Amino acid sequence: MTQETILIGLAGVLAAAVPVIFAVMGETLSERAGVINLSMNGTILLSAMGGFAVAYNTDNIVLGFLSGMLIGALVALVVAFASITLKQSQVAVGFVLALTCRDLSYFLGNPYMGVPGPRLQALPIPFLSDIPILGALFFRQDAITYISFAAIFLASIWIFRTRPGLMLQGIGEKPAAAFIRGANVNLMRYVYTVIGGALIGLAGPAYSLAIRAGWMGTISGLDGIGWIALSITIFGGWNPARAAFGAYLFAFLQWLGLVLQPVFTQVPSQVLQVAPFPLMILTLLFVNIGNTEWVERILASMPDNTRKLFSKALRAMRVSPPAALGVPFESE
Amino acid sequence: MLKGRLGGFLFQLIALLFAFGFVSLILISVDASPMDAYKNMFTGSFGSMRKFAEVLVAFVPLLLVTAGLLVTFSSGLWNIGVEGQVVLGAIATTWVFRYFLESGLHPALVITLAILGGMLGGALWASFTGVLKVFGGVNEIFGGLGLNFVSTALTIYLIFGPWKRPGVASMSGTVPFPDEFSLPLLFDLRISLWALGIALIGIVAVYFILQGTYFGLRLKAVGKNFRAAYLLGIPTWQYSMYSFLICGALAGAAGAMQVAAVYHRLIPSISSGYGYLGLMVAMLINYRAVWAVPVALFFAALNIGSIQLPILMKLDSSLSGVLQGALVLFVLLAEGVRQKFVKKA
């Protein structure tokens, strides 16, 4: 493989990760506030279909992306209403929405199957795109890819460097304490869930109007992306930068699967495509195993030096969710 | 009046109306007549003996999966991996069939072994999720989902790799088994009374375990309050594992029925989404086993009835999924409204 093809491949990886980036950023914000939006898989499909349909009928790509965000926000609003106001199980509501939105997208998207439609064009940035290597990698992408870079950056700054971001951490970790300090916990949870939902809703059009332009229904290969994004959120430890790394790693592995196809001809292509899933389980195992009781017990029985080494390694990998994730908040 | 059992019933009725109203609006939005769609779905599932037999074919795995899920839900676990457990049940069943096809054993014995093998396969696959949960701290939703994708890949690998048809491998699956290795079918219909019987035994057994045994009581204690159950001396993680194993065995039985009574071979979409649909049924009946049979039958009828939609009305058959989802969603919301506004009053 020449350097040129590798560069194009890697630039493609950055673009291919865009929908997952948006989904993961949205889910991270939502879960940071304490609400799991499990509907993601359905939301992405429905916003992909809806965004494409709107862009096709209005011939306006921007409207397509905006309607995807609107769909995501509306689905998230249902999750928020059911879980915050009605105090029903977030997992149950989210799961039902994941399946219902998926089927709804297949049902409503039927007339748009395989119809050629508008597609976002690449937008090279003058001067920057001429920088050797970096230019080809980062600055010859389309607009939505640039926005995805910005989203990672902004989400990180917002959560860790701003006052409202600190409050956001508070309502997910210790809602009672945040309440005492004057935060309207449930309102903030509504806001972040809906904003998070809008970001998740960007993921759909990022497929149907950019990297996999068009709507192909059940054979579009989008079914499952939402579940992957959900596990990448955990892998990312609710940290936008680490989550983005997970999303890029996933896109890279999928690309590698394609590249290695000619090498492992006896392995069916469908098998290589699912290679990320066992890896996903393994990584979840690595980031969680430090939280289990039996590991702690074994660590406690080890001689000092070995224990320090092991617990350091485990701590480096370990992530723990926001303490109040999935727990309804009552002010009384 | 809104408080007691009657009130709950009233709210469920309202939820039902909302769900049908929602789906009717969607149908109107694509210029289709809701009444025609519902009528076609009804005649498509109950219009003839042959169609009703198809409903029962879908009902069998759905009921088995629901029965299994009632056990995991009772112990507080979200066994989303049930889909993969169905698949592994089907794979294990196929493996046993292939192993004994030429052995000269009596077909009835081979079929029995194959079904038991399927249950074992499903239980084994469920135990992976269980071990990941109990010893690895991996939430069962994510462990299960990941394993679902792995199970699908495994099916495709087997169909295109080691178990491929002589000549060309294809999406149509492995070589079908000879007729004598099928569970006996009723007349010339596709339904096997044996499969139906096994499914009904499954749900009755689960009802009995949950309602009538000490084991079931402890299982529910673990589900209601894990910590309190632990402090009371119930071996909590063992009970979590038991419920995974029981659910996996029942899901595996569902996969075994798909192979032994319906397809007589392994096909790529062997589970047909019955695992996920079972989760919906379990949620809709609010985890009460007595309602499993009628609701699973209703959902199976929707699935089969919707097959008519593309043929008669040029609509996508996924409408059944939308209706099923809307039903569960509105029942959940109605229950939430009732708890919030009625119980307080």
Q: Tens of pLDDT along A46-66?
A: 999 999 999 999 989 999 999
Nearest to B150 among A81, A110, A278 (CB): A278
Residue A247 C-alpha, separation from nearest chain B C-alpha, in angstroms: 16
**Stretch A207-220: mean pLDDT, rounded?**
84
Same structural domain, A71 and A120: yes
pLDDT above 50 for B336 = yes
Same structural domain, A205 and A311: no
**What is the complex's ipTM, to 2 decimals?**
0.89
Residue B46 C-alpha, separation from nearest chain A C-alpha, in angstroms: 23
Could you tell me if residue A268 is inside a domain?
A: no
**pLDDT tens-digit readout, B107-154:** 888 889 999 999 999 999 999 999 988 888 888 888 888 888 889 888
**pLDDT tens-digit readout, A223-241:** 888 988 888 888 788 899 9
Domain boundary at A209, A228, A259, which? A259
Tokens coding A276: 């990320």
Question: Given an 8 Å threshold on Cβ–Cβ distance, is B136 in contact with A285?
Answer: yes
Nearest to A289 among B136, B276, B329 (CB): B136
Of B241, B96, B90, the closest CA to residue B151 belongs to B90
User: Within an 8 Å CB–CB cutoff, is residue B343 touching chain A?
Assistant: no
Domain of A17, in residue numbers: 3-259
Using alpha carbons only, what angle is made at residue B24 by residues B20 and B25, rounded to the nearest 5 degrees? 120
- Provide, rounded to the nearest whole percent, the portion of chain B with pLDDT above 90: 42
* Residues 98-117 of chain A whose Cβ lies under 8 A from any Cβ of chain B: 99-104, 106-111
Same structural domain, A302 and A178: no
Output the pLDDT for position B1.
47
pLDDT above 70 for A271 = no
Output the pLDDT for position A113.
87
User: Within an 8 Å CB–CB cutoff, is residue A141 touching chain B?
Assistant: no
Return d(Cα B53, Cα B192) in angstroms, integer.
9
pLDDT above 90 for B169 = no
pLDDT above 90 for A15 = no
Same structural domain, A64 and A204: yes
Which of B132, B227, B281, B316 to mutate: most A Cβ within 10 Å?
A: B316
Residues in chain A closer than 8 A to B149 (CB atoms): 224, 227, 274, 277
pLDDT above 70 for A276 = no
Q: Please state the three-class secondary structure of A201-237 as a single string.
A: HHHHHHHHHHHCCCECHHHHCCCCHHHHHHHHHHHCC
Same structural domain, A55 and A143: yes
User: Within an 8 Å CB–CB cutoff, is residue A289 touching chain B?
Assistant: yes
pLDDT above 90 for B257 = yes
Output the pLDDT for position A269.
66
Output the pLDDT for position A272.
65
List the CATH number of the domain containing B227: 1.10.3470
Return d(Cα B255, Cα B83) in angstroms, integer.
9
The pTM for the full model equals: 0.89
Residues in chain A closer than 8 A to B336 (CB atoms): 82, 85-88
* Cα of B95 vs its chain's centroid, Å: 22
Question: Given an 8 Å threshold on Cβ–Cβ distance, is A268 in contact with B160?
Answer: yes
Task: Please give the full DSSP string across A97-164, using - where no structure is assigned.
Answer: HHHHHHHHHHHHHGGGBT-----PPB-PPTTGGGSTTHHHHHSSSBHHHHHHHHHHHHHHHHHHHSHH
Output the pLDDT for position B344.
58
pLDDT above 90 for A282 = no
List the CATH number of the domain containing A228: 1.10.3470
Domain of B116, in residue numbers: 50-168+179-314
Using alpha carbons only, what angle is made at residue A254 by residues A224 and A141, rounded to the nearest 5 degrees? 100
Could you tell me if residue A121 is inside a domain?
A: yes
pLDDT above 60 for B2 = no
Could you tell me if residue A240 is inside a domain?
A: yes
